[in-house]
A and B are shown apart, each in its own frame.
Chain A
C-alpha cells in the first residue's frame, strides 16, 4: 500500500514534470505511466522496479527538486561546452536521482543560440549535451540510462536576438523519458 501511494505520487510528479517542459509542441507521451507500472501493478520485484525508490534515502523534496525544470537546465557561455562550477551540485543531485532507479531514462538535449548555420549548431548543441552526459557518467550514471541529443538552434527557450535571450538559449536540458 505504501508502495502504491509512493508510485502514484511519483507518477504525479513525473506528469507534472512532463508538462513543465518548455519546448514547444512537445508530445507529452505518458511514458511515466509505464515507468511506474511494475510497482503499481504489483509485478514481481526484480530489484530494478520502483520499489527501490523507497529504499533510497532521498527526501521527497529532493526528488521534487530533481524533477523541476529549473534544476534540469545547464547554461553555457558563448561558444563554450565547459560546465560552469555553479552547475556542479545540480548535476550531482541529478546523477543521484537517475542512479536511484535503473528504470529512469534521460535525454540530454543540447541547444545553441541563433547565430550560425543550422547543422553546425546541431553539432555544437551535441557537444553541450555530451559534456553533461560525461559529467553525469563521472558521477556514476550508467550510459544505458542516458542519450545525448541536440536540437541546435531549432528550439530556442526564449525568442529574440538580445544577449539575454541568447544566454537562455545556450543550454542543455535533462529530460526524463
Chain B
C-alpha cells in the first residue's frame, strides 16, 4: 500500500517535471494599451482549460492590451453587452464566449468580440475540437482579437523551441508561444545548443555534442527524423536558415578558425561565405535573404557586422562597447536585438536599424539568445532571475515582460518559430 502510494507520488512528480508548466508574470506597464474586458467563458468552470483566462494572459503578455476587471458579469457570445456600462468601466473592447461539451466528447468553443466605443460587433469565431486542442483554440481566439484590434497578425498560436538541462540530461522542447504544452523533440546526455526553426516551422536545425564534438543536425519535428548535415573536421555550429529554407549558413572550423559557410539545407559541400583570420560566427539572415548579420572579432573585440549573402565586404554594425554578440533580426527588417556586455553584465539591447540608436531593455545581467516573434512585436530571450535560468518575453521597448518559468532544471536557448500556415 505504501509502495503504491510512493509510486503514485513518483509518477506525479515526473508528470510535473515533464510537463514543464510555465507561469506568466507581467511586470511593467506599456504606454499605449487597449483596455479590454475579457469575460470568463460560459462553461469554463467545467472545462479542462479556462479559455477566457488563456485569451486574457496571451493578450496581456503582448504588452498591447490591459485587462479590465469584469467583476461578476456573466454573459456569453450570444448576449449583446451593455456598451455604455463597459465604457464607464474604461473598456474599449469586450470578449465573451462559451465552451460546451458535445455528445461525441469534443468541445464547442465560441467567441465574439465587441467594439465597446462604437457599440459594434467585430465578429466571432467557433471551433469544435478535442480537449487536447483547447489551448491551441484559445491561442487562435487571442490571435483573432489581436489582429482585429491592432491590425497586426497575432503570434499566440505559434511555437517556440528551447533547451533544458536537468542534471546531466539535455532536452530540446517544442512548446506553445506561452511556454505551455511543451513536448520533447530530443533527449540527450550531451549538450544541445542553438536550435533554429526552419522558415516553414516544420524542422529545427541545432548543434548537438552527442558525438563528442559539435555537429549540426536538421530535425523534422513531426516525425522525429534527424539528418546530420554538418560533421566536418573541427567544430560545426551556429546554424541559420535562409528565408527560402533551401540553405543554411553555419560556422565551421574545417579550414582552421571559426569561419562562415553556406550549405544546402539537405547537406553537401559548404561554400565559404567570408574569409578572415579572426572569429566569424552567429550568422543570421535578413528576411529578404540578401544580407547576413554575424559576429566577428576582426576589430579586436566581438562586434556585429553584416555582409551580402552572396559575399562581399563586411560592414560593421555595432560600435558601442567591447562585446556585442548574438544578433537577431526582426522579420519586418526594422530592428536588431543583440547582447551587449556592459561593466561585466550581459544585457539585451535593441537597435533601430534606420537610425542606429540602441537601447538596453532589461534589468537582468545574464541575458542570452534573443529571438523575435514572427510579427516583430516581442522578443524571447534567456536570462537568470534569482540564480535560476529563465525564459522571458519582452516588448521591444522593454516595458512589458513576461516570465515563462519552467520547473526543474535550467532553461535556455529559445527560438521563436514562424507563423504556421
Interface of A toward B, CB cutoff 8 Å? 24-27, 107, 109, 115-120, 122-124, 126-127, 130, 147-152, 154-155
A119 adjacent to B326 (CB under 8 Å): yes
B256 adjacent to A130 (CB under 8 Å): yes
- Supposing A116-B323, A119-B251 touch, asked if A27 and B279 sit within 8 A by C-beta, the answer is no
B212 adjacent to A26 (CB under 8 Å): yes
Chain A residues with CB under 8 Å of B369's CB are: 117-118
The complex places the Cα of A150 from the Cα of B412 at a distance, in Å, of 19
A172 to chain B, nearest CB (A): 13
- B182 is an interface residue with CB less than 8 A from chain A: no
Chain A residues with CB under 8 Å of B281's CB are: 119-120, 122-123
A123 adjacent to B251 (CB under 8 Å): yes
A49 to chain B, nearest CB (A): 24
B279 adjacent to A147 (CB under 8 Å): no
Chain B residues with CB under 8 Å of A27's CB are: 212
Chain B residues with CB under 8 Å of A26's CB are: 212
Contact of A116 among B189, B256, B325 (CB under 8 A): B325
- Supposing A25-B189, A126-B257, A155-B191 touch, asked if A116 and B234 sit within 8 A by C-beta, the answer is no
Task: Name the residue on A nearest B257 (C-beta).
Answer: A130
- B4 is an interface residue with CB less than 8 A from chain A: no
A contact face: mostly helix, strand, loop, or mixed: mixed
Q: How large, as a class, is the contact surface on chain B?
A: 35 or more
B213 adjacent to A107 (CB under 8 Å): yes
Contact of B258 among A109, A115, A126, A154 (CB under 8 A): A126
- B237 is an interface residue with CB less than 8 A from chain A: yes
- B302 is an interface residue with CB less than 8 A from chain A: yes
The complex places the Cα of A150 from the Cα of B341 at a distance, in Å, of 22
- Could you write out 6 A-B pairs with CB less than 8 Å apart? A25-B189, A117-B368, A120-B282, A122-B235, A123-B281, A130-B253
Contact of A154 among B191, B282, B323, B339 (CB under 8 A): B191
- B295 is an interface residue with CB less than 8 A from chain A: yes
A149 adjacent to B235 (CB under 8 Å): yes
| Besides A118-B193, A119-B325, 16 new A-B residue pairs in contact (Cβ under 8 A), listed by A number | A116-B341, A119-B282, A119-B326, A122-B237, A123-B281, A126-B235, A126-B253, A127-B257, A127-B258, A130-B257, A147-B233, A147-B234, A148-B235, A148-B253, A150-B214, A150-B235
